[in-house]
Amino acid sequence: MNKNFNKNFLIKLINEPGPSGYEENVQKIWADEVKKYCKNLSSDVHGNLTATLNPEKEFSIMLVGHSDEIGLVVSYIDNDGFIYFNSIGGVDPSILGSQRARILTGKGIIEGVFGQKSLHQEETSGRKLPKYHDVFIDIGAKNKAEAEKLIMIGDPVIFGNDYKDLLNDLACARCFDNRIGIFIVAEVLKKLSKEKFNTKVYFVSSVQEETGVWGAGNAAYNLNPTMAIAIDVMPSTDYPGVSKTQFGETTLGKGPVFRRGVRTNKKIADKMISVAKKKKYVYQIDMDNGKFGTDSDPISVIKSGIPVGGLEIATRYLHSSEEVLSLKDLETSIDYLSDLILEIDKDQKFLN
| β 41-43/49-53 pair status | antiparallel
Report the alpha-carbon distance of residue 202 to residue 194 in Å, rounded: 16
Concerning whether 209 is annotated as a catalytic residue, the answer is: yes
Domain(s) labelled CATH 3.40.630.10 in the chain stretch across 7-69+175-346
Amino acid identity at 296: S
In the prediction, which pLDDT does 211 show?
94
Report the alpha-carbon distance of residue 130 to residue 40 in Å, rounded: 48
Report the alpha-carbon distance of residue 163 to residue 174 in Å, rounded: 8
Query: Are the C-beta atoms of 179 and 114 separated by less than 8 Å?
Result: no
Amino acid identity at 169: D
Per-residue confidence in pLDDT tens, the chain, 352 aa: 456 789 999 999 999 999 999 999 999 999 999 999 999 999 999 999 999 999 999 999 999 999 999 999 999 999 999 999 999 999 999 999 989 999 999 999 999 999 987 765 666 556 678 888 899 999 999 999 999 999 999 999 999 999 999 999 999 999 999 999 999 999 999 999 999 999 999 999 999 999 989 899 999 999 999 999 999 999 999 999 999 999 999 999 999 999 999 999 999 999 999 999 999 999 999 999 988 889 999 999 999 999 999 999 999 999 999 999 999 999 999 999 999 999 999 999 999 9
The secondary structure of 281-304 as a DSSP string is: ---EEEEE-S--SSTHHHHHHSTT
Q: How many residues does the chain have?
A: 352
Written out in words, the top-level CATH class of the domain with range 7-69+175-346 is alpha beta
Choose among 102, 155, 158, 113: nearest CA to 138.
Answer: 113
Q: Which of 209, 210, 312, 323 is catalytic?
A: 209
The model's pTM is 0.96
In the prediction, which pLDDT does 278 show?
98
Report the alpha-carbon distance of residue 66 to residue 231 in Å, rounded: 8
Return the CATH superfamily for domain 71-159. Peptidase M42, domain 2 (2.40.30.40)
* Radius of gyration of the CA atoms of the chain, in A: 21
In the prediction, which pLDDT does 293 show?
86
| 323 DSSP β-pair partners | 173
**Which stretch of DSSP H or E encloses residue 11?**
helix 7-15
7, with CB counted inside 10 A (0-12, 13-18, 19+), is: middle
The secondary structure of 193-251 as a DSSP string is: TTS--S-EEEEEEE---TTTS-HHHHHHHHH--SEEEEEEEEE---STT--HHHH----
In the prediction, which pLDDT does 242 show?
96
In the chain, what is the straight-line distance between the N-terminal and C-terminal CA atoms, in Å? 39
Report the alpha-carbon distance of residue 209 to residue 212 in Å, rounded: 6
Q: What are phi and psi of 255, to 5 degrees?
A: 95, 170
Query: Are the C-beta atoms of 159 and 71 separated by less than 8 Å?
Result: yes
Domain(s) labelled CATH 2.40.30.40 in the chain stretch across 71-159
